[in-house]
Structures are given as structure tokens and as C-alpha cells.
Amino acid sequence: MIRIPQLNRRWSLPMNESVPATVHQIRAQLERAFAPVSLEVVDDSARHAGHAGARAGGHFRVALVAAAFTGRSALERHRLVYQALEPLLGRGIHALNISARAPEARHRSS
């Protein structure tokens, strides 16, 4: 499992060989779509090695906090994330676990 640090609005994560390209693509799409206050992308693909669907892409967890989610239901937030990542679905992403919150809900438990 590879963990990518939370987004710091003052810098962007440099590309390097230890982080899969899909993680960078996910981060770029979500940053472009939502300008999140925080963003974490975790590649869980190794935990699903051998799974038949894994050939279509990896397994990822994303946790993001963005103003775009204010006043939206969980279903609406998930739809927005899927819409932002649509170009990668089936072409890099097979499974996606999403935690999407508005800034005011950041510290509330779900």
C-alpha cells in the first residue's frame, strides 16, 4: 500500500518512480475539479492482487474535503467524484472507496 501525503495548498507532489502514475492522475483530476482543502489518495491494489477485476485497473481509496460538497448529500458527493474521475474508470481505476466531505463536516464522524 502506498500512501500519498495530504495536499498542502502551497506545494504539489513531485512525480517519482515510487508512486504509480494512476495515483498522480487521480490527484490531478480531483485537484482540478474540486480545489480540495485536503486530499489523500491510497493505492490498495496490492491487497487485491489476483482479483479478476484488477486487470481493468487498480483499487484506490480517496478522502477529500472541498467546498464543492457543501450542502450536498453523500450520493451527490460520490457522483461528483465519479464524474471527475470518469476518464480513469476502467482505464486505471477498477474500484474506488470514497470519503468526500465539505469543510464544515470535516471533523464530524459519519
The pLDDT of residue 80: 98
Using an 8 Å Cβ cutoff, are 42 and 3 in contact?
yes
Going from N- to C-terminal start, the domains of the chain cover 1-7+41-58+68-110
The pLDDT of residue 15: 39
The pLDDT of residue 75: 97
> Which cell is 66 given?
472541498
The pLDDT of residue 18: 37
Number of H helices, E strands in the chain: 2, 4
Averaged pLDDT, groups of 10, the chain, 110 residues long: 41 41 94 97 77 67 97 97 92 90 71
pTM: 0.73
Residue 95 CA to residue 88 CA, distance in Å, equals 11
Residue 32 CA to residue 37 CA, distance in Å, equals 12
